[in-house]
Amino acid sequence: ALLQVFDSAGNVVPGFDANFNPILFSDDNSAPGEFARLDPFMFFRAPATGTYYVGVSGFGNLNYDPNIQHSGTRGDTGFYQMEITFGDHTNADFIAFNDIGDSNRFRDQGQLILAGNTIYDSDDFAIDVNPGPRASNTPNDTSPQQGPVRNLREINDNNWAPGVVIMNNLIDTATGGIRYSGSTNNAGEQVGAVPFGRIINNTVFTGFQAPPQPTTTQADIVFMIDTSGTMGGDIAEIRQRLSTFDQQMIAANIDAQYGLVTFPASNPNNQPRQIQDIVDFATLTAAGSPFNTFPIAGAIENGSQAVREALNDLDVTTTFNFRPNSRIVVVLVTDEDDDSPNADFIAAQQALTASNALFFGISALGIGNTDVTYGALATQTGGQNFDIDAFRLNAGPFFQGFTSALAGSIGGGQQTVAGIQVINNASVTVMNNIVSGWNLGLDVDATSLTSV
Report pLDDT digits (tens) over 89-123.
566 656 666 666 666 666 666 788 999 999 988 87
pLDDT band at 414 (very low <50, low <70, confident <90, very high): very low
CA atoms within 13 A on the CB side of 153: 0
pLDDT band at 324 (very low <50, low <70, confident <90, very high): very high
pLDDT at 393: 83
pLDDT band at 211 (very low <50, low <70, confident <90, very high): low
Query: Which one-letter DSSP state was computed for residue 435?
Result: E
Q: Evaluate if residue 450 carries a pLDDT over 60.
A: yes
pLDDT at 158: 84
Residue with the bigger pLDDT between 190 and 384: it is 384
* pTM of model > 0.95: no
pLDDT at 413: 46
Q: Evaluate if residue 176 carries a pLDDT over 50.
A: yes
Mean pLDDT for the stretch of residues 407-435:
79
Q: Which CATH number fits domain 214-413: 3.40.50.720, 1.20.1560.10, 3.40.47.10, 3.40.50.410?
A: 3.40.50.410
pLDDT at 266: 66
Mean pLDDT for the stretch of residues 339-362:
93
Report pLDDT digits (tens) over 55-81.
888 777 777 888 887 777 766 667 778
The CB density around residue 128, as the number of other CB atoms within 10 Å, is 14
Q: Is 258 helix (H, G, I), strand (E, B) or coil?
A: strand
Highest mean pLDDT among 133-147, 315-329, 428-442: 315-329
pLDDT at 38: 74
Report pLDDT digits (tens) over 222-278.
999 999 989 999 999 999 989 988 988 888 888 999 999 998 766 777 889 999 999
How does 61-82 read in b/e, with b if 16+ C-beta sit within 10 Å?
beeeebeeeeeeeeeeeeeeee
Q: Evaluate if residue 21 carries a pLDDT over 80.
A: yes
pLDDT at 368: 92
**In angstroms, what CA-CA distances link 30 with 26, 53, 230?**
10, 21, 32
Mean pLDDT for the stretch of residues 270-295:
94
Enclosing H/E stretch for 277: strand 273-279
Mean pLDDT of all residues belonging to the chain = 84
Q: How far apart are CA 403 and CA 393, in angstroms?
A: 17
- Domain residue ranges of the chain, discontinuous segments joined by +: 1-107, 113-148+157-211+416-448, 214-413
Helices first, then strands: H and E counts in the chain: 8, 24
Q: Evaluate if residue 412 carries a pLDDT over 60.
A: no
Q: How far apart are CA 310 and CA 43, in angstroms?
A: 45
Give me the percent of the chain exceeding a pLDDT of 70.
87
